Amino acid sequence: MLSNKLLKPGLYSVGSSDGAGPTARLMGGRCRCGYVFFPMQTYGCERCGSHGDALTPCELSAHGTLLAEATVHLHADKNRPAPFTIVKVALDDGPVIRTLLADGSAPVAPGQRVAGTLAAVGQTESGETVLDLRFSVAS
């Protein structure tokens, strides 16, 4: 794992490893009022307005249920060459997130169980593998 580097280390961390690669833990937050959100922030709670110490980090499972998917055929940003697929996932821990489906994942449909893993998306100049969160069908 020493040769791996997370693309967005403020948003997720490496959990235990399974056959498909390292699973992810999402770095969310919980308010004193009970509201769970992603990503972690201390600006203030969207539900009740509490801020600062009322908001504490809370690791979220990357397991959830697919709400929707869309394969993007046209995308102006050349850093994201189409096609790619976006998934909307209701995490088991509460928040709804949207991100990319893993390249080579089996097709997904609403209602299906999905899980986030950390997938290799490139290399740094010093040869480290860059990992980013991708969802695929839960094993």
Partner 1 sequence: MTRSLNELRPVYVVGIGWHRYQNPSETPYVELGLTAIRAALADARIEWPAVESTYVATALLGMASGRPMLRHLGATGAPLMHVENASASGSTAFRHACIEVASGISDVALAIGVDKRNPVRRPDTGLGNLAEDAIVPFTHFALLTNEYAVRHNASTDDIALVAVKNHRNGAKNPNAQRQQERTLDEVLGGKRVSGSLTSLQCTPIGEGAAAVIVASEDGIRRLGIDAGRAIRTTASVGRSERVYPPGAGFDAALTQETADLALAQAKLAPKDLDIIELHDAFTVEELHYIESIGLCPEGHGVRMLKDGALDIGGQCAINPSGGLIAMGHPIGPTGIGQIGEIVMQLRGEAGPRQHGGARIGLAHMVGVGAVCYVHILQR
**Is residue 2 within the footprint of partner 1 (CB under 8 A)?**
no
Are the C-beta atoms of 96 and 85 separated by less than 8 Å? no
Cross-strand pairs, 66: 89
Q: Which of 20, 54, 86, 121 binds partner 1 (CB under 8 A)?
A: 86
b/e map of 28-41 (b: 16 or more CB within 10 Å)?
bbbbeeebebbbbe
Q: Is 33 helix (H, G, I), strand (E, B) or coil?
A: coil
Q: Which of 39, 59, 63, 128 binds partner 1 (CB under 8 A)?
A: 39
State the minimum distance, in angstroms, from the CB of residue 117 to partner 1.
13
**Is residue 17 within the footprint of partner 1 (CB under 8 A)?**
no
What does the binding site for partner 1 look like in residue numbers (CB under 8 A)? 8, 10-11, 35, 39, 41, 43, 46-47, 67-77, 79-80, 84, 86, 88, 90, 94-100, 109-111, 133
